[in-house]
Structure 1
Amino acid sequence: MNESQTDQPQPNQLAAHGLGLRYGDRTVVDNLDLVIPGGAVTAIVGPNACGKSTLLRGLTRLLAPSGGTVTLDGADIHRMSARTLALRLGLLPQQPVTPEAVTVEALVRLGRYPHQRLLSPWSKADQAAVEAALERTGTAALRDKAVDRLSGGQRQRVWIALALAQDTELLLLDEPTTFLDLRHQLDVLDLVAELHSEAGRTVVMVLHDLGQAARYADHLVVLKDGRLAAAGPPAEVLDAELVKTVFDVDCRVIPDPETGTPLVIPRGSATRLTKAATA
């Protein structure tokens, strides 16, 4: 393979080049160079307020860069039409706002909007995409229920169904497990894993739990103060030194007994150790 071939981006590869993102005068992401591999599950992790969600907004064109560029398969996303980008990339934002009294099926049907043209009616292909999204997320039985009356886990699955109905090969999820109990967190993450393994989707998600990120992701992006602290496979990236540097937590990193992936075990403080010893 010659050099020009190896330099070609992978399909569905997002990249940031000298990316700057800010809100007003406050810089959140500064001069970031990053490649998110296509055909993989990537987890973005880091302390609170380090720029994880801001980065996701920048990668999806919801936030215009103050510097640098974002590319999808080598093309600047800010030079693409909104429809072209929506056909390539789907986004589940953090805490999406549900329209009042909308039913599950009606919400999921909104995912087909990028596929609609001015004079084209709702098609069999559109309905088939909606049905497939409902079935894959286990929400078909909820189709006539109001979304705002569902449990947190059910609502999250419905929003993922909307993103699936959009039928993009690249799916970005901003904290998809927030406010969910452990069972529903695992349900959502298992669904993400299935979408990747069975449908070949490229997935990028912001997560807080390092163990879950290491277990479900092929690639980790670790941020600190709006800059890249590390990136790569979890087994190569996640160690005690990184956790101390980025999160200011003393820990051991051991193989997960179930999966062999890195598992972070915080070291006990003197107070907790004393309580445990006297319990």
Structure 2
Amino acid sequence: MSLTAHIPSHRKPRRNAPKTALRAGVAGGVLSTIAVAGAAGPAQAEPVTQTIEMPTITAGLSTAVAASAQATQQVAQDLQTQAQEDAAAATAAKTAKKAKAEAVRKAEAKKKAEAAAKAKAEAAERASRSTARTTLSATSGSSTGTAASTSSSSSSSSSSSATGSAAAVIAFAQAQVGDAYVPGGTGPNSWDCSGLVQAAFRSVNIDLPRVSQSQSTAGTQVSLSNLQPGDILYWGGAGSAYHVGIYVGNGQFVGAQNSSTGVVQRPLSYDPPSGAVRVL
């Protein structure tokens, strides 16, 4: 027997394998946890330290701000354009209104001038007729009874010679005696001078111009000393006559004189004509 056999051994007993493996596993797990924690630590801090992403966000914001500024500028330009267009439209409207007022003023002035000219012409016509009547009256007073008888006989002869179309024209004109005088009137119950003459000749299918100026040159010019029934009498110049009538014989005529007398039959001495034309 050994001398030391009775002394207990101070060596630690060997641990069994399961406990060793368990401890190894726990240690491994702790180390793994530490490793994971170490790995997770920097990952969680990364959003804080990686500030290089901020310029991207700032650039996008700058683009949006620039776009907004451009849109605002465009709106401002549109408003300015609209304001300019409105101002131009207002100016045009004002100009048009002024032009219209000026046109109305000129038209009124022209109308007044025409009315004044017409009144002056009528006054001159009345004065001329009055002078002619005075002259004719003086001439008639100095004429002999023989000359008057000869004239009357000649007129009667002319009247009795009216036949055919001339007789029809005279009959139509005499049938309108007593009708009203209306400027521009063409019948059947109101007439102006040229409207009556035109209608009388239309009754025998002869178309004459509508106005006295043209009717005074519609036929062959004849002397007032050589009148025949149916001749057209005119007052004023040939081509510029202001009045017409129809010679009916016996030194008389029928005409739509004026609004006071209407259509009348009067002797030539009532209103001596300037000339005559023969259509028939």
Give the TM-score category using the shorter length.
under 0.3
Larger Rg: 2
Q: TM-score, normalised by structure 1?
A: 0.22
**Higher RCO by CA contacts (8 Å cutoff, separation 6 or greater):** 1
Q: TM-score, normalised by structure 2?
A: 0.22
Higher normalized strand content (fraction of residues): 1
Higher normalized helix content (fraction of residues): 2
